[in-house]
Structure formats: structure tokens, C-alpha cells
Structure 1
Amino acid sequence: MSEVVLRDARYSELPEIAHVMAKAFWEDNLFGELIHPHRNEYPDDVDLFWLRQARVNFWDYRWRWLVAVSKDESGQEVIAGIAQWARLGDGGQKLECAYLDPRNLLKPLSSVAMKVHAWAWPSRASDPKTEDIVDRAYPFFDKIWSSKRAESWYLEALAVRPDFQGKDIGRRLVLWGLDQAEAEGICASVVSALGKDEFYTKCGFDEQYGNATQGDGNPLAGVEGANMFWKWPKTSS
């Protein structure tokens, strides 16, 4: 394999990205066990969860989709890792190119298309009762991104292919967003998966504050992990 480089993802790569996400979170207590309890019976169906989300969120102008790519012996690019960074707050709104930006139309159209797709081809690997549990949980903890935390580069998801783990790829994808936040003089944030707290602190996140399971009525209540970490800038905006 050649040297791994980071670049923006392409829409045509979303199926491969979804596969990387599925494999990286296969044993995760939330995206694996809770949302996809039948993943070992229907392994290919797990990709559908990530692919449908990606085909909608790819058109959100606040998001940056990064891939870490390498080339195999035949010269073909291989996606080794993926990071989904979102610019929250007023700064995210300013990323819109123009009032008539086509992404403003493509995202809602894609959302409708993926709902139809899910109806026509339901995932046999997931539990219908928990498949949307993360989306339902956000209103219970998204108030944490307020006041001095309102402007943030948020790491929505990070995944590295199992056969590329241990090669510093995840850290490089994290540092991209930390550098963006530092340049703007704002914080960076992430909801850590179970067992990943130490990884994020080693990457530079210097404060643990909040948890994605908090809030009365939160459907994630009782789920282990989901600590929220923050990296504060050395400079002020």
C-alpha cells in the first residue's frame, strides 16, 4: 500500500464509505449491538444504515467529509478511514455558497428518497425500534452546544478500516478538525464511543463535559459511553 493521504470524499464513494463505517462500528455497543442486533445474520444490510444517512448528509453545506486513502498494488485507491466533521453555530450557516445553492434542494430530496428506499428495502440487520435512536436523542443533549460552545467543529463520526488501524490514520483525521477549530479560534467537540475516551484525549481534546445520554426521557439513557469531549483554542476569535 502507498502512503495514506487525506482529501474530500466524493459522492460516488459513499457505498465504500458506508462499508468502512459498518465494519469499524461492528462491535460498538450502540451502532453494533443496540441498533444492529441481527448484523451477523445479515452483514450486508448493516451498510444500508450508514449509506442512507450519508446520501442525505453529504449535501449539507456545513459538513466536511474527509477520507484517508491509499493505493493498492494495482494503483486503485482504497479508503482506509473516514471522518465527518460539521461546523456548528453561525459559522456553519455562513458556509452556504449562495441562496440558490443546489445543496439546499438536494438534501431534502435525498431525505425523501432514502425514506422511500428504507421502506422498500428495510434493513434486516437492524431493530426498527432503535434504528433512529441517535436522531431521537439529539434534542436531549444538543443544548450543550450553546453559549461559549455554540461555535464548534464537531466530529460527527470517525471510522478506520480494521486492517488499517494502528497506523495513525484516525489521529490524522481528528487533527484536521482540531486545526480548523484552532484557526478559527473556536472549540472542537466529539461524542466519544465506548472505550475511546483515552484516544480522544491523546489526540488533544482537553475537557470532558456532558454526555449524549443525559436529559430526562433521553432514549439513550442507560447506554454506556457517549462522553462529550472538547478542545479549546489557544487563540481567541
Structure 2
Amino acid sequence: MKAILFTGGLLFLLSGSGCSKSSDPNNDLPSISPQLIKLYDDPQGLVAEASEQQGFDKLHGFYPTGKTMLDVRSTTFTDNAIMQTCIINKSTQPERFDSLVRAHGDTHWNNWSTFGPPCMFRVTTGLHVTCDRDYDTNHLAGTLLDDLLTIHYMSADGILVDGEYILPSPAEEELKPNYQMGECDAKLNEFNNMRLKLVSLRFTLLFIKNPSETSDYVFTCTYTNEDGKKLTASTDPLRIQGER
């Protein structure tokens, strides 16, 4: 069950991500933002990196050692020059930013806390992964590996809905106590069916199983949206321990 946000102070207590301090040196409170989303991203490129995951899963504890992780992100996050052309906000492209604010009805947030990362603003139609060699007998070279992957992502789609601001219920908050506002997990196939729009192009993908054979693997990741934009990136080779 969802709760519609009526007051500005409520979310400030739930999440402090993306806060900006007031310009008044005598005021310790963050400044209030009329918009939930203060940064939009019009991505022009993609970066993909593969590694052996030994980090922390906020929901389930530590990932099993030896599972392969893919970090897939917009080049907006990697190069300051690209960031200047791709990021849309009040300072860089004020007219375009105002147009996006009106299009999403993001005009009356009036809160201290904002959505942290830059959001894309066109519907995501797919994020797909392939490999340069056979992964197992059911996933040959060049075929989709989507059913073997989970995805961790940030999205404002469930918070800003048809010009209304919606918060999780307390019970829903308790299910993911360490998560930030808009932080989500899903199976990659499920994510692709969601057709999200206000999502940040920075994804962490985790394989649920290792390949059959020990070898060097190169993964190719492809992102597409409703306008026909297609961004592709391949990882460097990664030596992965096979299950045999």
C-alpha cells in the first residue's frame, strides 16, 4: 500500500540523499527544492566493466565469492566534458529542464531531500547482455544472458507518478531498511518488462551462476530506449572460474 506525500518534512526524515545546503550561513537546514528531480541525463555513450563480486548486498548480505558483476553506466558519469553536454539542470539547459519539469508534473515537491542521481527521461525498452563465447549449454555465444542476471538500479518512476508524489508505506520501508529513496532490485527480464522512464543509467548486474567452463569472457551490454537510441559497450576480458 502506498502513501501519497502531502507534507515536505516527512521524506526529509526518511531519506537525506541529494540534499543541498542553504546559502544562508546562519541557517543549518538544507534548502527546500520545488522539484524531486534536479538532474536529467541525455546519455550519449555507455561504459561496461566486469569484475568478481565480493561486495555487500544490502538486502541479502554478502554476495557469494566468485560471482560475476557487471557495472554498466552512462559515460556521463565518467567524463567531465561529456557531463557538461549531457546533464540537464537549471544551470546547464534551463529551458529544457523547465520543459521536463512540466512534462512530469514535478512542480510542487517542496522538500529538502531530492532524488540523487541524474534521471533519463525517455522510456527504457531494453538492457541486454551477451557474451563472446558459450556461457553454458543453454546460452551460446551471442545469445542473451538476461535470464541469468539480477539488476540493482535507481528509479524515480515509483515516486513521481502522474504528477503526484508517492512514498512507500512503513511496512514497505521495513523490507529494505538500508535502501535509499528509489533504490531497487529485480531480475533483468522483469526490469526490461517494466519500461521505466525516470531511471538512472547506472546499473549493477549480478550473475546468478558461473559459466560452465573456466576461461576469459567478454560481455557486451546494450541499452535501448523508445526513441530508437542504442548504446553499446563491451567489457575487458575477465577470467571466470567455471562450474565444472
Band the TM-score falls in, shorter-chain normalisation? under 0.3
Structure with greater Cα Rg: 2
TM-score, normalised with respect to structure 2: 0.26
TM-score, normalised with respect to structure 1: 0.27
Structure with greater helix share of residues: 1
Structure with greater strand share of residues: 2
Q: Greater relative contact order (Cα 8 A, min sep 6): structure 1 or 2?
A: 2
